[in-house]
Amino acid sequence: MDDREAWDRERRLWLEGAGVYQQLLDDECLMAFAPVGILSGAEIIRALDGAPRWLDVEMTEQRSARPNDSVLVLAYRADARRDPDVSYAAYCTSTYARTGEDWRLIQHQQTPIADPSAMHSSRSSRQEGTMDEILRSFFARYESMANRVLARDMDVGETTFAFASDFIAASPAGVMAGKNDESLKGSMEKGYARYRAIGTRELNIRDLEITPIDALHFLVRVDWRSVYEVDERPDVVIDFEVHYLVQLLKGEPKIFGWVSGDEEAVLREHGIG
Query: DSSP characters for 151-197?
Result: TTSS-GGGGGGGEEEEEEEEETTEEEEEESSHHHHHHHHHHHHHHHH
Supply the pLDDT for residue 117: 43
Topology alike, domains 3-113 and 134-269 = yes
User: Does residue 166 carry a pLDDT above 90?
Assistant: yes
Supply the pLDDT for residue 118: 42
Q: How much of the chain, in percent, has pLDDT values that exceed 70?
A: 90
Supply the pLDDT for residue 31: 92
Given pLDDT bands bounded at 50, 70 and 90, which one contains residue 119? Answer: very low
Q: Does domain 3-113 have CATH number 3.10.450.50?
A: yes
CB 207 within 8 A of CB 136: no
How is the chain split into domains, by residue range?
3-113, 134-269
- The answer, yes or no, to whether the previous bond of 35 is cis (omega within 30 of 0) is yes
- pLDDT per residue as tens digits for the range 14-41: 998 778 888 999 999 999 887 677 888 8
- Compute the mean pLDDT over every residue in the chain, rounded to the nearest whole number: 86
User: Does residue 116 carry a pLDDT above 50?
Assistant: no
Q: Does domain 134-269 have CATH number 3.10.450.50?
A: yes
- pLDDT per residue as tens digits for the range 217-248: 999 999 999 999 887 777 899 999 999 999 98
Supply the pLDDT for residue 121: 41
Supply the pLDDT for residue 233: 76
CB 81 within 8 A of CB 54: yes
The residue that leads in pLDDT, 103 or 132, is 103
Mean pLDDT of all residues in 184-206: 92
Compute the distance between CA of residue 31 and CA of residue 137 in angstroms, rounded to an integer.
11
- pLDDT per residue as tens digits for the range 52-101: 778 889 999 999 999 999 999 999 999 988 876 778 888 999 999 998 88
* Model confidence, pTM: 0.60
Supply the pLDDT for residue 59: 93
CB 42 within 8 A of CB 137: no
